[in-house]
Structure 1
Amino acid sequence: MSNANEKRLAGESAIRYVEDGAIVGVGTGSTVAFFIDALADLRDRIQGAVSSSEQSTTQLKKLGIPVLDLNATGPLSLYVDGADECDPHKHLIKGGGAALTREKIVAAASDKFVCIIDSSKRVDLLGKFPLPIEVIPMARSLVGREIVKRGGNPVWRDGVVTDNGNWIIDVHGWQIVDPVALEKDLNQIPGIVTVGLFAQRAADVVLIGDREM
């Protein structure tokens, strides 16, 4: 099965977790785009969606799905998003699309996190995909030096500005044996807004195509 077919199947299969009357947290990316298309068929049965990016907001509004403010909704029952890598423990690397901060916020606000991927994203050890880190612009060099101390190779994603007005550093060369510990460590570095490790709040369900991992 092609990656595109697996993405479409994963996006459509995640619909089964959507309950009537729900407010659905919606992530970002090519697999999520299939989920949003499928969600349009349920728009009269849900209250609306909380979006993690301007890209997803545009698609949701185009399909007539109300986009709600997380500050007004309170806790969410469901968050659906993709990932750049997923290990056997449902720990993830996210942020290839530079929406990691809002994605992490919505994931933290949700009771259930359903991650939708194709089989190419499934790995035994996180780190082959460079780890995205969102940083305050003035802290780019400071954060870079701290990453080098930890054995990583930081590369500034030049020309990319996040929806929050910040910059992205992609860290190459790490084999992430303990993602929970690394996430906690990096969160202590001043200037880091969000780390693209979703390990402290891992996925609850991972769909590869139409089957649970």
Structure 2
Amino acid sequence: MSFELSPIDKAKFVAAKQATQYVQDGMKVGLGTGSTAAWLVKCLGEMVEKEGLKIKGVPTSTRTAELARDVGIEVISLDEAKWLDLTIDGTDEYDGNLNLIKGGGGALLQEKIVATASDQMIVIADASKHVETLGHFPLPIEVIPFGWQTTKTLVEETLIGLDVLGRQVSLRMNGDAPYYTDEGNHILDLHLNRIGNARQFSLVINQIPGVVENGLFIDICDIVVIGYGDGRVEVRDINAGSVEESRIDFVEADNLFADLND
């Protein structure tokens, strides 16, 4: 049965496909969470099946772990791995310095722990994720359930003294109930519109009692691989200061990806 990818899925696919070139036999690889990261896991699974690639994957969520096992990737915990060769993950936003907002998929805590336990972090994204200044996408912060409403109030009061345009804070919901992360915590989404000083913001917000972690990834990402709907790929390396372009051909009827849902 054949199928046709939408332009946005083509962009995600070619970015993920390009990123697999950084993965080598014997590596311990952090596997991100979200729709773009799912493309990566599928691509790596194809390499395991068809090319005999041998890697150990450390997933950043239970759903990524399930997908990795389904496509034949050996899954281990971060405690077993201790340190990773690289992590490949998606992002909700990235700026010109490759600073990120992550956590739209609800896995920001595990994603940040895994990314910082890696020699290199590679982000895969479509071109729409690039912004001049972070903050257009709501910034998630993970908070413990105990006293979360007090934590929310403290966050709102703290925002008054920070360089942001918006200050709306909302509890993320899962239907009629609060959303729970894999660690059993809640997520507060901060609708800021613009974050004037992301580094300062991250340090200040993490000092609030009840806040576990925030979705700002500052100085963590090394490379961003940007996919386009026409098959073009752009690779930006912040350390090398380079930008490279290439193109990937995709096969519309590749059944390996036909069942991948966002």
TM-score when normalising by structure 1: 0.95
Identity %: 39
The DSSP-based 3-state class of the residue aligned with 1:101 is helix
- The 8 Å contact of residues 154 and 171 in structure 1, kept in 2 or not, is answered as yes
**Could you list the per-position Cα deviations for residues 63-86 of structure 1 after superposition, in whole angstroms to 9, with x for gaps in the alignment?**
111110111111101100000111
**Equivalent residue, structure 1, for 2:222:** 204
Unaligned runs of at least 5 residues, structure 2: 1-5, 161-166, 228-232, 237-262
Deviation, structure 1 residue 111: 0.7
Q: Which residue of the other structure, out of 38, 44, 59, is the alignment partner of 2:67? A: 59
The DSSP-based 3-state class of the residue aligned with 2:74 is coil
**Equivalent residue, structure 2, for 1:154:** 169
Matched, 1:6 2:6: no
Deviation, structure 1 residue 141: 1.7
Deviation, structure 1 residue 211: 1.3
Alpha-carbon distance in structure 1 between the residues aligned to 2:96 and 2:154: 28
Matched, 1:32 2:51: no
**Could you list the per-position Cα deviations for residues 20-40 of structure 1 after superposition, in whole angstroms to 9, with x for gaps in the alignment?**
210110000111111111101
- The 8 Å contact of residues 155 and 208 in structure 2, kept in 1 or not, is answered as no
Aligned length: 212
Unaligned runs of at least 5 residues, structure 1: none
The DSSP-based 3-state class of the residue aligned with 1:138 is coil
Deviation, structure 1 residue 47: 3.1
Runs of 4+ in 1 over 3 A off after TM superposition: none
Alpha-carbon distance in structure 2 between the residues aligned to 1:142 and 1:31: 35
**Equivalent residue, structure 1, for 2:82:** 74
- State the structure with more CA Rg: 2
Matched, 1:137 2:139: no
Alpha-carbon distance in structure 1 between the residues aligned to 2:143 and 2:67: 27
Alpha-carbon distance in structure 2 between the residues aligned to 1:203 and 1:129: 18
TM-score when normalising by structure 2: 0.78
The DSSP-based 3-state class of the residue aligned with 2:63 is helix
Alpha-carbon distance in structure 1 between the residues aligned to 2:128 and 2:150: 33
Counterpart code for 2:222: D
**Equivalent residue, structure 1, for 2:210:** 191
Deviation, structure 1 residue 46: 2.6
